[in-house]
């Protein structure tokens, strides 16, 4: 999500919850929209066109996945809504649930949290109707992260606890690891970093039992966040470094990028700018290899912030301008306005 970028040299509390969201979507089955969705889901089709319609909807979801991987969140939303229209018409409830996951992810990446929450709650309702307990665990955890984003920490904790209870009842080791990791997020949000660290360590034991490398890397990144917030830079770098190694080996690009961001922040905080710039170069190269424009934008902005922090305003300006160009390419007006404002404020100094 664009609004959750971690400012260099300090911990942005919203960063933790953004990455948590993106991670749980990787585990959950694929997601929908907000107020206008219901109006779009009423176009019954004849039984003779069922297969053709299903193929069309499936194709739209594949396109949406590609658009999302390239950072085109707005286009992802359009494709998902079209697919949902068809799935509703042919009565494919399971496919609706998967599409709601992907749609919610796209909304969240754009910072449209209310619409993202609506999509997640629709996904949860479908999971309950179909008694899909695993999907319920993931949906509850994702909803909890949005509650955290909105500052509703108590409600978020209760929601995660509900997910944990389901996981324990069905003996889902994967679900327990996820829920315990996210309880760590809730605890960290309350400022009890030592307790959060213990929860993360417990979560790691569950994630390692299942060979869940994505989950392990995510929890290690959470652990890095907690150490960073506590000012323990040595353990911060150790945790992020372990997450990056796992993510790189398993080609888990989301956690790899997140670990790099954490390491850039930690090294910058202790004046290791050469290492921070080396990591940013790796980040930009990775984003370009993935052909993910949104991650390119994030890389340019991170460069700009670091140069701004060092007082090198001409170079910072160059990177802000490059980020603005990418925002325009993505047709992300919100990001474009935010970046222009940040550049303007810097130039006033």
- Could you read off the pLDDT of 312-321 as tens digits, one per residue? 999 999 999 9
C-alpha distances out from residue 75 to 60, 64, 115, 227, 319, Å:
11, 7, 15, 37, 26
pTM of the predicted protein model: 0.75
Q: Would you say residue 44 has pLDDT above 70?
A: no
Per the structure, the count of domains in the chain is: 2
**N-terminal to C-terminal alpha carbon distance within the chain:** 28
Q: Would you say residue 154 has pLDDT above 70?
A: yes
Kindly give, in sequence order, each residue whose CB lies less than 8 Å from that of residue 192, ignoring residues fewer than 6 positions away: none
Among 24, 15, 25, 19, smallest CA distance to 189 is for 15
Q: Is residue 265 part of a domain?
A: no
Q: Is residue 307 part of a domain?
A: yes
C-alpha–C-alpha distance, residues 64 and 331, integer Å = 16
C-alpha–C-alpha distance, residues 319 and 183, integer Å = 37
Q: Is residue 157 part of a domain?
A: no
Among 17, 279, 56, smallest CA distance to 156 is for 17
- Among 106, 130, 154, the domain-final residue is 130
Q: Is residue 227 part of a domain?
A: no
C-alpha–C-alpha distance, residues 146 and 124, integer Å = 14
Percent of the chain clearing pLDDT 90 (strictly above) = 80
> Which pLDDT score, from 0 to 100, does residue 149 have?
86
By the 8 A CB rule, do 68 and 76 touch? yes
pLDDT tens per residue, range 264-303: 999 999 999 999 999 999 999 999 999 999 999 999 999 9
Q: Would you say residue 261 has pLDDT above 80?
A: yes
Q: Is residue 4 part of a domain?
A: no
Which residue has better confidence, 130 or 41? 130
Mean pLDDT across 254-262: 97
C-alpha–C-alpha distance, residues 8 and 189, integer Å = 19
Among 181, 177, 201, 164, smallest CA distance to 17 is for 181
CATH number at residue 61: 1.25.40.10
C-alpha–C-alpha distance, residues 183 and 136, integer Å = 16
pLDDT tens per residue, range 6-18: 333 333 433 444 4
Q: Is residue 335 part of a domain?
A: yes
- Among 130, 154, 170, the domain-final residue is 130
Q: Is residue 103 part of a domain?
A: yes
> Which pLDDT score, from 0 to 100, does residue 7 have?
32
pLDDT band at 47 (very low <50, low <70, confident <90, very high): low
Mean pLDDT across 127-153: 94
Mean pLDDT of the chain, nearest integer: 87
Q: Is residue 210 part of a domain?
A: no
Which residue has better confidence, 247 or 52? 247
- Among 130, 159, 193, the domain-final residue is 130
> Which pLDDT score, from 0 to 100, does residue 150 have?
86
Among 264, 253, 338, 301, smallest CA distance to 70 is for 253
Q: Which domain holds residue 309?
A: 292-348
pLDDT band at 48 (very low <50, low <70, confident <90, very high): low
Among 232, 337, 280, 201, smallest CA distance to 6 is for 280
């Amino acid at each position: 999500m664009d609004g959750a970028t971690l400012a260099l040299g300090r911990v942005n509390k919203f960063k933790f919850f953004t990455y948590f969201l993106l991670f749980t979507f990787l585990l959950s089955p694929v997601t929908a929209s907000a107020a206008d969705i219901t109006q779009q889901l009423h176009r019954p089709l004849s039984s003779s066109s069922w297969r053709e319609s299903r193929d069309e909807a499936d194709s739209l979801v594949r396109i949406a996945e590609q658009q999302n991987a390239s950072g085109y969140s707005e286009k992802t939303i359009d494709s998902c809504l079209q697919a949902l229209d068809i799935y509703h018409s042919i009565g494919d409830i399971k496919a609706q649930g998967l599409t709601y996951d992907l749609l919610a992810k796209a909304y969240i990446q754009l910072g449209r949290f209310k619409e993202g929450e609506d999509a997640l709650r629709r996904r949860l309702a479908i999971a309950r109707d179909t008694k899909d307990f695993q999907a319920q665990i993931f949906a509850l955890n994702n909803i909890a992260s949005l509650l955290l984003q909105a500052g509703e920490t108590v409600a978020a904790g209760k929601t995660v606890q509900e997910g944990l209870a389901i996981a324990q009842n069905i003996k889902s080791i994967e679900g327990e690891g996820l829920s315990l990791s996210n309880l760590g997020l809730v605890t960290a949000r309350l400022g009890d970093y030592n307790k959060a660290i213990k929860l993360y360590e417990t979560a790691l034991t569950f994630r390692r039992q299942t060979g869940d490398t994505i989950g392990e890397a995510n929890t290690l990144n959470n652990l890095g966040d907690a150490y960073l917030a506590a000012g323990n830079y040595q353990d911060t770098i150790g945790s992020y470094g372990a997450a990056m190694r796992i993510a790189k080996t398993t080609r888990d690009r989301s956690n790899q990028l997140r670990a790099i961001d954490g390491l850039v922040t930690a090294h910058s905080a202790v004046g290791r700018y050469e290492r921070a710039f080396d990591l940013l170069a790796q980040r930009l190269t990775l984003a370009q290899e993935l052909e993910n424009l949104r991650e390119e934008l994030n890389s340019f902005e991170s460069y700009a912030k670091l140069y701004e922090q060092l007082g090198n305003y001409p170079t910072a300006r160059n990177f802000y301008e490059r980020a603005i160009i990418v925002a325009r390419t993505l047709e992300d007006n919100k990001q474009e306005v935010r970046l222009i404002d940040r550049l303007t404020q810097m130039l006033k100094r």
